[in-house]
């Protein structure tokens, strides 16, 4: 038996828990001790009731010191407190206290860069797990993930230099070797398991990556499609002007529409059914004809594996990257989340043109042998291979 600490430090939504829940269940099924450090304890405790949950040490940024529209991973680190020596020291000390308490042999990190920094002189084995967004390549300068913005390269580089200076100061305090580049830190791991496909990687310049495909889904209800015309349309959007316009248009066309909208009241209006309860994404992907989503990575990946075309209305820079990648495959069309005059013509185009559906089917055919359960088992094998004395070979 080995002790695994699963860490989730940054990022919102439930996608991180969607990855970590099946990993935790699988490790416990194999007889290991699992502890979770999470930024969202309410949902973590709800979804992992049998796993001890601890609060992940995080910095709550103050607006005047925050980069409002982060475009590189260095910007993300800056907002996470890596602009201040004292803040960074406090976070690292908190992680060290947790490591003392849990005594993990393997630490699995989903978007947990400060945990990785704190582990530089720790004896535990280190594994990165995620879609690629939180696992930047070892290059300098770090790639601009939002090149469509009017970013100033000098500002991006100045932020990266500042982050590197505080990072090295912290490494020096730990007695660890300093770095020439921020990206080097994420190469100092024992494994980097990318739960995505090469086409959807946030960093196409990564080169060779250990791609395992998308894993996990949170518990959800079976879809109950309302009566209506085909195509069946699945909607998973946060409220916005474009969302309201699209729902009205789908209802006007009498298309069978099932909309999952968290924190909205459940309702049915003719052929439109709105639910605030999570739905089983695998059953949604196998039964819908078109999906309209904000472009969270896990949802987009599961839809593409099932061969479903996507109308994407991204909110964040990360979602914009996912939407761009899906559009590059040819299976998605992007529209502005706050411009109905952009979203409605995009919907019209997708309903009339089967090019997107054909491209989605091509993606699905390429990964026809992919199996979510098998992908999870290979990840569990690789995690066990990191634990001392278990004697498993890496998958």
DSSP 134: T
> HEC profile for 50-90?
CCCEEECCCCCCCHHHCCCCCCCHHHHHHHHHHCCHHHHHH
288-300 mean pLDDT? 96
Q: At a CB cut-off of 8 Å and minimum separation 6, what does 341 contact?
A: none
pLDDT(395) > 80: no
pLDDT at 14: 82
pLDDT at 4: 98
- Is the pLDDT at 54 greater than 60? The verdict is yes
d(CA 377, CA 196): 15
- Higher pLDDT: 150 or 125? It is 125
Of 187, 239, 153, the closest CA to residue 179 belongs to 187
pLDDT at 150 over 90: no
Specify the higher pLDDT residue, 206 or 375: 375
Residues ≥6 apart with Cβ < 8 Å to 256: 225, 226, 227, 228, 229, 230, 231, 232, 233, 271
Domains of the chain: 3-213+372-386 (3.40.50.2000), 229-366 (3.40.50.2000)
pLDDT at 393: 42
pLDDT given at position 184: 97
- pLDDT reading at 394 higher than 70: no
Strands (E), the chain: 3-8, 33-38, 53-55, 106-110, 125-130, 191-194, 210-211, 229-236, 255-260, 267-269, 272-275, 290-293, 310-312, 332-334
DSSP symbols for 265-280? --EEETTEEEESS-B-
Q: What is the pTM of this model?
A: 0.93
Range with lowest mean pLDDT among 117-121, 134-138, 184-188, 215-219: 215-219
Those residues whose C-beta lies under 8 Å from the C-beta of residue 208, and which sit 6 or more positions away, are: none
How do residues 354-366 score in pLDDT, each as one tens digit?
Answer: 999 999 999 999 9
Whether the predicted pLDDT of 100 surpasses 50 = yes
Mean pLDDT of 334-346: 96
DSSP symbol at 33 = E
CA distance 121 to 233: 51
Task: Quick: pLDDT tens for 190-214.
Answer: 999 999 999 999 998 887 899 999 9
Count the neighbouring beta carbons within 10 Å of the beta carbon of residue 262: 14
Residue 294: phi and psi, rounded to 5, are: -80, -5
Q: How confident is residue 341, by pLDDT bands cut at 50, 70 and 90?
A: very high
DSSP string, 296-342: -HHHHHHHHHTT--EEE---SHHHHHHHHHHHHHTSEEE--TT-HHH
On whether the CB atoms of residues 48 and 36 are closer than 8 A, the answer is yes
Q: What percent of the chain has pLDDT over 90?
A: 87
pLDDT reported for residue 204: 86
Residue that wins the pLDDT comparison between 190 and 278? 190
What average pLDDT does the chain have? Answer: 94
pLDDT at 392 over 60: no
Q: Quick one: which of 4, 223, 270 has its CA closest to 127?
A: 4
Longest dimension (CA), the chain: 65
| CB 191 within 8 Å of CB 127 | yes
Per-residue pLDDT tens for 55-93?
999 998 776 778 989 999 999 999 999 999 999 999 999
Query: What digits encode the pLDDT tens for the residues 211-263?
Result: 999 998 778 899 999 999 999 999 999 999 999 999 999 999 999 999 999 88
Nearest 5°: CA angle at 210, between 208 and 214?
125
For 247, 267, 268, 289, the CA distances from 256, given in Å and listed in that order, are 11, 14, 11, 10
Residues ≥6 apart with Cβ < 8 Å to 53: 35, 36, 37, 38, 41, 44, 45
> Judging by DSSP bridges, how do beta strands 267-269 and 332-334 pair with one another?
unpaired
pLDDT at 60: 87
Taking the mean position of all CA atoms in its chain, how far away is CA 278?
17
Alpha carbon of 288 to those of 202, 231, 282, 356: distances in Å?
A: 26, 8, 10, 14
What's the confidence (pLDDT) of residue 63?
66
- Check pLDDT > 60 for residue 36: yes
Q: What is the pLDDT of residue 219?
A: 81
The residue among 350, 80, 73, 377 whose CA lies nearest residue 233 is: 350
């Amino acid at each position: 038996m080995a002790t695994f600490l699963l860490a989730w430090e940054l990022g919102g939504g439930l996608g991180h828990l969607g990855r970590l829940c099946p990993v935790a269940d699988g490790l416990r099924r194999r007889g290991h001790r699992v502890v979770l450090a999470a930024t969202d304890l309410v949902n973590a405790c709800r979804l992992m009731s049998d796993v001890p949950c601890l609060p992940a040490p995080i910095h709550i940024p103050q607006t005047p010191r925050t980069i409002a529209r982060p475009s590189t991973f260095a910007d993300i680190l800056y907002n996470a407190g890596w602009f201040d020596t004292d803040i960074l020291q406090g976070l690292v000390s908190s992680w060290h206290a947790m490591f003392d308490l849990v005594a993990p042999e393997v630490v699995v990190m989903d978007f947990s860069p400060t945990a990785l920094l704190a582990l530089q002189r720790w004896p535990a084995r280190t594994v990165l797990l995620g879609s690629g967004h939180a696992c930047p390549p070892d290059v300098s300068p770090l790639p601009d993930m939002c090149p469509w913005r009017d970013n100033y390269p000098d500002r991006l580089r100045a932020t990266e230099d500042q982050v590197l200076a505080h990072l090295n100061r912290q490494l020096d305090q730990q007695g660890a070797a300093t770095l020439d580049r921020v990206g080097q830190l994420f190469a100092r791991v024992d494994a980097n398991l990318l739960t995505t496909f090469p086409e959807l990687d946030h960093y196409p310049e990564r080169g060779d990556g250990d791609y395992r495909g998308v894993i996990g889904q949170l518990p959800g209800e079976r879809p109950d499609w309302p009566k209506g015309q085909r195509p069946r349309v699945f909607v998973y959007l946060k409220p916005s002007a474009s969302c309201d316009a699209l729902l009205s248009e789908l209802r006007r066309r009498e298309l069978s529409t099932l909309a999952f909208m968290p924190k909205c009241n459940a309702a049915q209006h003719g052929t439109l059914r709105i639910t605030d309860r999570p739905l089983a994404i695998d059953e949604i992907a196998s039964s819908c004809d078109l999906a309209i989503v904000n472009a969270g990575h896990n949802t987009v990946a599961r839809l593409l594996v099932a061969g479903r075309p996507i109308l994407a209305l991204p909110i964040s820079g990360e979602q914009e990257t996912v939407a761009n990648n899906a559009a590059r495959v040819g299976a998605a069309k992007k529209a502005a989340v706050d411009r109905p005059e952009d979203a409605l013509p995009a919907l019209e185009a997708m309903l009339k043109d089967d090019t997107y559906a054909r491209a989605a089917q091509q993606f699905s055919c390429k990964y026809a042998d992919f199996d979510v359960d098998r992908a999870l088992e290979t990840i569990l094998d690789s995690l066990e291979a990191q634990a001392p004395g278990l004697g498993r070979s890496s998958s």
